[in-house]
Amino acid sequence: MSETRSRLGLIDTIRGITIISMILFHACWDILYFDLGLSPEFLYGTGAYIWQQSICWSFIFISGFCFSYGHDHLKQGLKLIILSLLVTAVTVLVMPDERIVFGVLTLLGCSVLLTIPLDRLFSDKKGTSIPGLLISLLLFFLLRNINRGTLGFEKLSLGALPENLYKGYFMTFLGFMDHEFISSDYFSVIPWVFMFLAGYFTNRVFNGKEKDIKLFKLNIRPLAFLGRHSLIIYLAHQVILYLFFLLLKHHI
């Protein structure tokens, strides 16, 4: 969720805005969970779904965009996967009904590892960035509904996929979600790796010149600070929210 070289103020600022949006969204779910007055219809409505998707798309796209600014991608990818396994272990032990398996950290870690050979393949090839971006977006939209058993995007269905693909944890990890699989935060490799790659190829379109563009230097410090520390905030925010609303529930 963070790069290690020279940073772009605009990217950190947008990521900071997304962090705040994520915290507010998860707070709404906690308010509903603790029955503190929020209507279920709100969080199961179209508006809340668009809100949630905006958070997901932003984080994953920005992570792909920032791939080129990092170093030691192997270490970064493995770190994210190890953290994701720790999150899974803690949630299984502490709140099994809300366990997180194959969550966003797993997805980001795997996306980083998958992009390493791709980056080496295209690093010296000019003219591949725009085709790569278009193909990544096309594949994301074509495969968006793969978890639901079909090709297509949202309400647009382009045909059902074979039922026998949707069995077991490995296939679930890829995107063919087993009907008995449960996770409160599920981001399969397919289709989300293509959103990550869309961010990666968007960065390549700029060819390093984004650092000279005035807009990218925009730096709203409080938001950029949150953006720079997005990983630790992601790991800590839900625990803090849960404890806060638990205490609030017992004092009302």
Phi and psi, residue 95, nearest 5°: -140, 75
pLDDT at 6: 58
Q: Residue ranges of the alpha helices (H) in 179-229? A: 189-206, 221-228
pLDDT at 158: 95
Distant-in-sequence, close-in-space partners of 245: CB < 8 Å, separation ≥ 6: 27, 30, 31, 33, 34, 36
What radius of gyration do the chain's Cα atoms show? 19
H or E stretch covering 42: helix 40-43
Distant-in-sequence, close-in-space partners of 232: CB < 8 Å, separation ≥ 6: none
Query: In this structure, how many other beta carbons lie within 10 angstroms of the beta carbon of residue 42?
Result: 12
Domain residue ranges in the chain: 9-250
Residue 55: name the closest of 81, 25, 29, 80 by CA: 25
Residue 67 · residue 73 · CB < 8 Å: yes
Distance CA 76, CA 91 (A): 23
pLDDT at 111: 98
pLDDT at 126: 75
CA distances from 231 to 1, 206, 223, 225, 236 (A): 6, 26, 14, 12, 9
pLDDT at 222: 95
Give the CA dihedral 85, 25, 183, 172, nearest 10 degrees: -90
pLDDT at 252: 64
pLDDT at 207: 82
Ordered per-residue pLDDT tens for the chain, 252 residues = 544 445 789 999 999 999 999 999 999 999 998 888 888 888 899 999 999 999 999 999 999 999 999 889 999 999 999 999 999 999 999 888 889 999 999 999 999 999 999 999 887 777 889 999 999 999 999 999 999 999 999 999 999 999 999 999 999 999 999 999 999 999 999 999 999 999 999 999 998 888 888 889 889 999 999 999 999 999 999 899 989 998 998 876
Which structure tokens are listed for 32?
């509903």
pLDDT at 3: 46
